[in-house]
Amino acid sequence: MENFEISNGTAITTFILLGFGNDPKLQIPFFMMFLIIYTVTMTGNITIIALVISDRHLHTPMYYFLGNLSCLETCYTSTLLPRMLASFLTGDRTISVGGCFTQLYWFGFLVVAECYLLAAMSYDRYLAICKPLHYATLMDGKLCFLLSAGSWLCGIIVMTIVISLMSQLYYCGPREIDHFFCELTPVINLSCSDTTLVTLVGLTVSAIDTIPSCLLTLMSYVCIIATILRIPSSTGRKKAFSTCSSHLIVVSIFYGSLIFVYALPKRKALQEVDKMFSVFYTVLTPLINPLIYSLRNKEVKESLRRVISKCRV
Contact 263, 214 (CB under 8 A): no
Residue 311 burial class via C-beta count within 10 angstroms: exposed 0-12, middle 13-18, buried 19 and up? exposed
Sign of CA dihedral 187, 188, 193, 197: positive
pLDDT tens series, the chain, 313 aa: 444 444 444 557 788 888 887 778 888 999 999 999 999 999 999 999 998 898 888 888 988 998 999 999 999 899 999 999 999 988 888 998 889 999 999 999 998 999 899 999 999 999 988 988 889 899 998 999 999 999 999 999 999 999 998 888 888 767 888 888 888 888 888 888 888 888 888 888 878 877 888 889 889 989 988 988 888 888 878 877 777 877 788 888 888 777 776 665 566 656 677 777 788 778 888 888 888 877 667 778 788 788 777 776 5
Contact 133, 227 (CB under 8 A): no
Per-residue burial over 211-239, b = 16 or more CB atoms within 10 Å of its CB, e = otherwise: eebbebbeebbebbeebbeeeeeeeeeee
Alpha-carbon radius of gyration of the chain: 21
Quote the crossing angle between the two packed helices 196-229 and 141-166, to the nearest 10°: 160
Superfamily of segment(s) 15-312: Rhodopsin 7-helix transmembrane proteins (1.20.1070.10)
28/30 Cα distance (integer angstroms)? 5
With vertex at residue 259, the alpha carbon angle to CA 252 and CA 123, rounded to the nearest 5 degrees, is: 45
Q: In what helix (H) or strand (E) does residue 21 lie, and over which residues does it extend? A: none
Contact 44, 290 (CB under 8 A): yes
How is the chain split into domains, by residue range?
15-312
- For the stretch 11-32, pLDDT in tens is 577 888 888 877 788 889 999 9
CA pseudo-torsion sign 24, 29, 32, 33: negative
pLDDT, position 6: 44
Look at phi and psi of residue 9 and say left if phi exceeds 0, alpha if psi is from -120 to 50, else beta. left
